[in-house]
Chain A
Amino acid sequence: MAMAADEIERLIAAALPGAVVTIRDLAGDGDHYAAHVVAPQFTGQSRVQQHKLVYAALGGRMGGELHALQVTTEVPT
């Protein structure tokens, strides 16, 4: 079952207060998304740790119902 873009955005924003989340629907099919996350919590974290914070925010959906979510992370400047 696919997830709505605003649900993805809500989960990430809830787990990472202050984060700016941008979701793009890549294929227009409500199933292939790219999420760009800029979050103060990323400061000083490796790329792997940054992505793990986003995956944790999605509560185990990554690789399951969210099999086609591209994630990019950025430390706020």
Chain B
Amino acid sequence: MSDVNSRISEIVNAHDVVLFMKGTPLFPQCGFSSRAIAILDHLGVAYDSVDVLQDMEIRQGIKEFSDWPTIPQLYVKGEFVGGSDIMMEMYEAGELQQMMQDKAVARAEA
């Protein structure tokens, strides 16, 4: 396993919910990342984020790691869930809420 793969693997295993995104939750640098953050905030779950714009190795590496061509990318309990389109589809169908419950993901602190 290459260095970047083991770095990404450590990140997705260290955080229950982690979003690889462009920018930060407060200052998303792309509409799709902004939408993903809005969904996570609506769900009210605790999450971490990785700004791929600050790390070119991860920006490229995550696409190969997930076999997924775009960013943002959501991981829950080490499992790839999808990008912002899938997050929105799942959110609208109530599936994302259900998944967070089923996986016993912690709530965000108010």
Contacts and interface: CB of A to CB of B under 8 A. Distances in A.
Contact of B70 (A48, A62, A72, A73): A62
Contacts, number: 32
A51 B80 contact: no
Nearest to A74: B89
Interface residues of A, number: 15
A63 B80 contact: no
Interface in A38-77: 47-48, 51-52, 55, 60, 62-64, 67-68, 70-73
Interface residues of B, number: 15
Given A51-B83, A63-B70, A67-B70, 9 more contacts: A47-B82, A48-B81, A48-B86, A55-B69, A60-B69, A62-B69, A62-B70, A71-B85, A72-B89
Nearest to A62: B69
A70 B82 contact: no
Contacts of B83: 51
B89 A47 contact: yes
